[in-house]
Structure 1
Amino acid sequence: MKREMDWNNLRYFLAVARLGRLSPAARRLRVEHSTVARRIEGMERAMGTRLFDRHREGLMLTEAGQALLPMAEMVESTMAVVAEELSDRDTAVRGEVRLGTPEGLAVCFLTSRLKPLLDDCPGLTVELLALPRLANLASREADLAITLEPPRRGPYIVARWSDFTYFLYGARGYLAMHEPIVTRADLANHPFIAYIDDYLLIPELRFLEKLCDKPNLRFCSTSMLAHKEAVLAGIGLAVLAPYIGASDPRLVKVLPEEACFQYTFWLAAHADRLRLKRVRVVWDYLRALGGAHHRLFLHGED
């Protein structure tokens, strides 16, 4: 006989479905590993079917689990909106909003520009995920994301945030010690700093192959902030985002008319999350922020 289902178990089901393992789900829900396992087992007993197959790689949704997932997400979204409406009848913005962005953008641009938003919304908490990879909106790792690769399919809202120009930079002291770099051919005489190719998730960030046939790589890192520090240390030249290069007078653009790469950053959110007032407020603030700094992003001049 099927038992009546505890609807609170949907939170546990969604966390495991999105993260694929019990331990990460437990951390997100701030409960013990055993609690998550017990809740999932109870849910499967109540429904009379398995929701997950257990594999060495983790837990995979069964056919029944896949059928339940969109319905569970609909319940989650509706309950979040109801909770917000009931608690915020005074129109105040309250709660947490998690934003995923590239590490350099988070550290060198966004963090110092969030204070006006937080001053206007004393009940709002912004959680900034400074990641060396793309934030996963599907797993609800973040409510919003600023990304080079927006979701192509699914229930997402995507808006153009800003165009960016990445420039080649050298340290002022390093450049003073070498012959002037006048043409691309001169770059063959200099060492370079770049991403570790095996960990590069965005092919567009393979800058150097567009500059030199055989660049002399001397230092590689998954972090653009590490690239900046390596440039300042005099290790070599690196392509940096404009908000990183323009923020430090010790950095100088090299061949700015030729050694430059333009990309578009996108602001993305799951459609369900934008139903929440607190998420919409952050979304609107970020869109205005992107438009207000067009010159910095496109020309590397603050």
Structure 2
Amino acid sequence: MQICMDWRSVKFDWNKARAFLVTAEEGSLSAAARALGMAQPTLGRQVDGLEQELGIVLFERVGRGLTLTPSGLELLDHVRAMGEAAGRVSLTALGQSQALEGTICISASETYASVLLPPIIKKLRAEEPGIQVEVVVSNHASDLRRREADIAIRNFRPTEPDLIARKVGDADAILYATPDYIASIGHPTKPYDLRHADFINMDHSGMMMKGLNTLGLGLTEANFPLLTESYIVMWELVRQGAGIGILDAYIGDAEPCVRRVLPDLEPIVFPIWLVAHRELTTNRRIRRVFDFLAQELRRDREDAPLALGS
């Protein structure tokens, strides 16, 4: 099947096309909405709007996911190529800018966006009042090649050759719970003592359970009765005594309501990286913010920890 229409008569909206592209790549509206950092109903309206404008059906529902129709498959290659071209144009133009004033977009997870970034951004704005900052809060990696952000704080090193990265430190992931909860499970002293404890799960893949079991905990799916993809919600559940959670020790140790579970347990160490597109390194504003973030994030690791919430 071929899509036959006069493209000159179509009022093209790139936002709707991008919504279609990300939905096709993610496989569902919910996943695409998370990837784009927008509400699912808004994303759905954009996809519906594109279908109405083009007069074709792009997706069919299969269970909880979506599958592309033949028309959608044909359109996908064209939209993907347009996205890559638009991204290259945008990156090249932005990379040539020598203006220090303007907007910069920083992507970070919930905990880093709510705890680490605010004091750093306040200091940046004091030193560079001409720079406006947009913070994209996402627990998934933003696509820097598509300009979903200019700079990202990540816990893994990128492998894409067109991205640059600078390691700013390491973080220790530690188990935390309230004193009352620790008492309710018998004041455990060994990893295996936690085999009957409740943990707050952060993903559907089972990676958290596998990681903890490498430390000798012997956990099963029954140990994870609570699930959320939000670090803020997870931490509040921990603070309320609902179970055990895992968090960066820099943040967790500052919370007076909780204690380390098995303080002598070996932490799970993960890196902290600053990432940007290589094209943007010639941009004066982005280079300034990139270097500023690296300096302040390193300094944070040497200073007193910050609390998450109150």
- If the length of structure 1 is used for normalisation, what is the TM-score? 0.71
1:77 to 68, 71, 91: 91
- Residues 73-98 of structure 1, C-alpha deviation per residue, up to 9 Å, x if partnerless? 5543343355x44xx4xxxx211111
Which moves more between the two structures, 230-239 or 178-187? 178-187
Secondary structure in structure 2 of the residue aligned to 1:293? helix
Asked whether 1:121 is paired with 2:145, we answer: no
- Residues 208-231 of structure 1, C-alpha deviation per residue, up to 9 Å, x if partnerless? 333422342221111122111111
Aligned equivalents of 1:14, 1:73: Cα separation in 2: 13
Asked whether 1:210 is paired with 2:217, we answer: no
The one-letter code matched in structure 1 to 2:77 is: L
Within 5 Å, which residues of 2 pair with 1:1-302? 16=17, 20=21, 55-56=71-72, 59-62=75-78, 66=81, 73-81=87-95, 84-85=97-98, 88=99, 93-198=100-205, 203=207, 207-211=211-215, 212-215=217-220, 216-295=223-302
* TM-superposed deviation, 1:179: 2.7
Secondary structure in structure 1 of the residue aligned to 2:233? helix
Distance 1:112 1:254, change over 3 A: same
Count residues with an aligned counterpart. Answer: 259
Contact 2:182 2:261 survives alignment (8 Å): no
* TM-superposed deviation, 1:125: 1.1
Contact 1:106 1:130 survives alignment (8 Å): yes
Contact 2:120 2:293 survives alignment (8 Å): no
Contact 2:95 2:279 survives alignment (8 Å): no
* TM-superposed deviation, 1:55: 4.0
Aligned equivalents of 2:306, 2:130: Cα separation in 1: 34
Aligned equivalents of 1:278, 1:150: Cα separation in 2: 23
Contact 1:18 1:140 survives alignment (8 Å): no
Aligned equivalents of 2:243, 2:95: Cα separation in 1: 51
Distance 1:243 1:294, change over 3 A: closer
Aligned equivalents of 2:104, 2:306: Cα separation in 1: 30
Secondary structure in structure 2 of the residue aligned to 1:61? helix
The one-letter code matched in structure 1 to 2:288 is: V
Q: Higher strand fraction: Structure 1 or Structure 2?
A: 1
Secondary structure in structure 1 of the residue aligned to 2:146? coil
Aligned equivalents of 1:251, 1:136: Cα separation in 2: 35
* TM-superposed deviation, 1:71: 6.2
Aligned equivalents of 1:21, 1:301: Cα separation in 2: 35
Question: What percent identity do the matched residue pairs reach?
Answer: 22
Aligned equivalents of 2:172, 2:73: Cα separation in 1: 40
Aligned equivalents of 1:234, 1:204: Cα separation in 2: 20
Structure 2 gaps of 5+ residues are 1-10, 24-32, 39-45, 55-68
Secondary structure in structure 2 of the residue aligned to 1:265? strand
* TM-superposed deviation, 1:59: 4.0
Contact 1:109 1:243 survives alignment (8 Å): no
Secondary structure in structure 2 of the residue aligned to 1:114? helix
Aligned equivalents of 1:283, 1:232: Cα separation in 2: 34
Distance 1:19 1:116, change over 3 A: farther
Contact 2:251 2:306 survives alignment (8 Å): no
- Residues 154-187 of structure 1, C-alpha deviation per residue, up to 9 Å, x if partnerless? 3111111211100011113323455322111221
The one-letter code matched in structure 1 to 2:257 is: R
Aligned equivalents of 1:163, 1:21: Cα separation in 2: 32
Contact 1:96 1:126 survives alignment (8 Å): yes
* TM-superposed deviation, 1:137: 1.1
Contact 1:218 1:236 survives alignment (8 Å): no
Aligned equivalents of 1:259, 1:58: Cα separation in 2: 51
RMSD: 3.8
Structure 1 gaps of 5+ residues are 1-8, 28-32, 42-52
Aligned equivalents of 1:196, 1:118: Cα separation in 2: 35
Secondary structure in structure 1 of the residue aligned to 2:168? strand
